[in-house]
């Protein structure tokens, strides 16, 4: 000591202070040197201990199946709340009535709405039946007209055949008259020559002239009769064409009326179908006045409350939590870490409210964490700029706490490749990402770069 104080400490006094005496001993320096060397050796050993690279992220508890997540019960129509059948915390089965609402839209306020629509349907159906009967009658009328036209045509055909036979007969008679005229003419000319030769008298000549004139008159009469017969045949042909045209016009008119009636029938059937659709919609709407639970679960919160409050269609009324659900974890990772993620990859999860001692690089000695495996990875980025990953419980690890509730927060560590501690420190200092590798099998953390 320098002994510059007014109260110097002598050697004897130093020996009375054990701590001061031990500090001034030379062996204390040796202990310190050994301690530093041991720490350095221990740190050097630690640098070569395997370290599991990992990616850490926050998440929350959810479910794998969408129907097992909390949902809200909504009304499909607008209405006024009339009566509640549940309260918060009640357990309901699928199909149980939650509340009853009444109508508020003017179009559906009529209490006899279904009855009136049914009356309209019945009236239109009767109109359809009337049109059907009219169509049947028109078809019968068309059939009768066609049968009558066919009979008329047969009658005229027979009449035509008779006229043709009369013409043939008259034609033969006319030819016979022509032959008689020619014979009378020859006889008259011969008698005139004999009279001129003095062989016959004038009286005989006059008789031959009389016979000639009678034969000529007979020929003319037969010709007129033949022309009359031919005229009758022409009249029969014209009459047949006229009757055919007349009946075709009547049939066309009846068919036109039939098609017009068919068009009206189809319009009436369309109206009936429309009214039936309207009736079904009204009937379904009346069934929507009672809002039921879509699945079995617990009523957690009544979003709308009171009696007489109006709600809009699609507006949430109460929230329900399904009775049975399979837990999962929804977490988000950065785009730079997404290539390191694979389905079936293991990770460790710490749930909020469950104490845990975590060694991120040595998951085997962590306490209070639970195992999980990557179940699904989104292929598109989320609005928060991260990629969403769904994690399911690891069946080979101990089960997750039964008291977990959906929405609880989590801290997740995705386990990657095993590397030495010194390599991990070097990577951290340089700001490099974890090593990229592909796992050999799903769920294994070991792999090759």
Within a domain: 108: no
- Would you say residue 153 lies in a domain? yes
| Whole-number Cα distances in Å, 196 to 185, 201, 302, 313 | 17, 9, 148, 132
214 lies in some domain: yes
d(Cα 440, Cα 197) in Å, to the nearest integer?
Answer: 153
pLDDT in tens, 173-219: 888 888 888 888 888 888 888 878 777 778 887 888 888 888 888 88
Flag whether 258 is in a domain.
yes
Q: Rg for the chain (alpha carbons), in Å?
A: 60
Kindly state whether residues 141 and 254 are assigned to the same domain.
yes
**Boundaries of domain holding 80:** 71-103+289-322
CATH number, position 165: 1.10.287
In a domain, 41, yes or no: yes
Side-chain half-sphere exposure of 427, counting CA atoms within 13 A: 15
Q: Which of 238, 259, 286 is the last residue of a domain?
A: 286
Say if residue 122 is in the same domain as residue 26. Answer: no
In a domain? residue 397: yes
264 vs 46: which has the higher pLDDT: 264
Rounded distance between C-alpha atoms, residue 256 and residue 225, angstroms: 46
| Residue 422 sits in the same domain as residue 385 | yes
**Exposed / middle / buried, residue 326 (Cβ in 10 Å: 0-12, 13-18, 19+):** exposed
Quick one: pLDDT at residue 270?
Answer: 92
Beta pairing partners, 347: 372, 414
Tell me which residue has tokens 């195992």.
371
Measure the CA–CA gap between 400 and 137, rounded to whole angstroms.
81
Residues 188 and 310 in one domain: no
Same domain, 120 and 197: yes
CATH number, residue 316: 2.40.50.100
pLDDT exceeding 70 applies to what percent of the chain?
Answer: 83
CATH number (domain holding residue 342): 2.40.30.170
Q: Is residue 364 part of a domain?
A: yes
Single out the residue in 227, 259, 286 at which a domain terminates.
286
136-145, 163-172, 191-200: which range is least confident on average? Answer: 191-200
Count of CB atoms within 10 A of residue 48's CB? 11
Burial of 162 (0-12, 13-18, 19+ CB in 10 A): middle
pLDDT digits 0-9 by tens, 308-319 = 888 888 889 999
Decide: helix, strand or coil at residue 379. Answer: coil
Which spans in 25-101 are helix H?
27-47
Residues 253 and 300 occupy one common structural domain: no
From CA 391, how far away is CA 415, in angstroms rounded?
Answer: 13
**252 and 135 belong to one structural domain:** yes
pLDDT of residue 6: 59
Sign of CA dihedral 32, 34, 36, 39: negative
Band (pLDDT 50/70/90 cuts) for residue 436 is: low
Average pLDDT, the chain: 81
Does a structural domain hold residue 91? Answer: yes
Asked whether residue 87 carries a pLDDT value surpassing 80, the answer given is yes
Query: Rounded to the nearest 10 degrees, what angle do helices 202-287 and 113-196 cross at?
Result: 170
Q: In terms of domains, do 147 and 211 share one?
A: yes
Q: Do 278 and 188 share a structural domain?
A: yes
**Tally of structural domains, the chain:** 4
Same domain, 274 and 146: yes
Residue 207 and residue 264 in one domain: yes
Q: Are residues 129 and 252 in the same domain?
A: yes
């Amino acid at each position: 000591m320098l002994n510059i104080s007014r109260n110097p400490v002598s050697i004897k006094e130093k020996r009375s202070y054990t701590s001061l005496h031990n500090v001034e001993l030379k062996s204390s320096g040796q202990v310190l040197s050994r301690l530093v060397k041991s720490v350095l050796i221990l740190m050097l050993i630690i640098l070569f201990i395997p370290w599991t690279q990992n990616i850490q992220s926050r998440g929350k508890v959810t479910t794998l199946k969408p129907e097992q997540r909390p949902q809200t019960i909504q009304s499909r129509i607008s209405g006024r709340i009339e009566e509640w059948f549940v309260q918060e915390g009640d357990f309901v089965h699928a199909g149980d009535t939650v509340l009853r609402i009444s109508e508020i839209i003017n179009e559906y306020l009529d209490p006899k709405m279904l009855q009136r629509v049914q009356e309209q349907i019945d009236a239109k159906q009767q109109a359809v039946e009337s049109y059907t009967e009219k169509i049947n009658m028109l078809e019968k009328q068309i059939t009768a007209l066609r049968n009558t036209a066919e009979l008329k045509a047969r009658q005229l055909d027979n009449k035509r055949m008779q006229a043709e036979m009369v013409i043939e007969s008259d034609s033969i008679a006319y030819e016979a008259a022509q032959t008689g005229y020619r014979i009378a003419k020859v006889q008259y000319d011969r008698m005139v020559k004999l009279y001129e030769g003095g062989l016959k008298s004038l009286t005989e000549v006059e008789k031959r002239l009389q016979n000639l004139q009678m034969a000529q008159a007979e020929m003319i009469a037969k010709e007129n009769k033949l022309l009359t017969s031919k005229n009758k045949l022409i009249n029969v042909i014209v009459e047949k064409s006229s009757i055919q045209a007349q009946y075709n016009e009547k049939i066309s008119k009846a068919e036109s009326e039939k098609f017009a009636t068919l068009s009206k029938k189809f319009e009436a059937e369309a109206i009936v179908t429309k009214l039936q659709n309207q009736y079904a919609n009204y009937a379904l709407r009346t069934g929507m006045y009672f809002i039921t639970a879509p699945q079995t679960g617990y009523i957690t919160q009544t979003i709308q409350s009171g009696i007489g409050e109006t709600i809009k269609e699609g507006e949430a009324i109460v929230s329900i939590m399904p009775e049975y659900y399979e837990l999962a974890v929804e977490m988000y990772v950065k785009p730079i870490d997404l290539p390191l993620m694979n389905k079936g990859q293991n990770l460790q999860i710490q749930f909020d409210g469950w104490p845990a001692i975590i060694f991120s690089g040595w998951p085997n000695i962590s306490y209070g964490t639970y195992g999980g495996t990557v179940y699904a990875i989104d292929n598109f980025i989320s609005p928060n700029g991260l990629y969403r990953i769904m994690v399911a419980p690891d069946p080979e690890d101990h089960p997750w706490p039964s008291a977990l509730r959906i929405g609880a927060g989590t801290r997740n560590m995705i386990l990657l490749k095993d590397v030495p501690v010194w390599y991990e420190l070097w990577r951290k200092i340089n700001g490099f990402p974890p090593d990229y590798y592909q796992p050999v099998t799903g769920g294994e953390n070991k792999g090759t770069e």
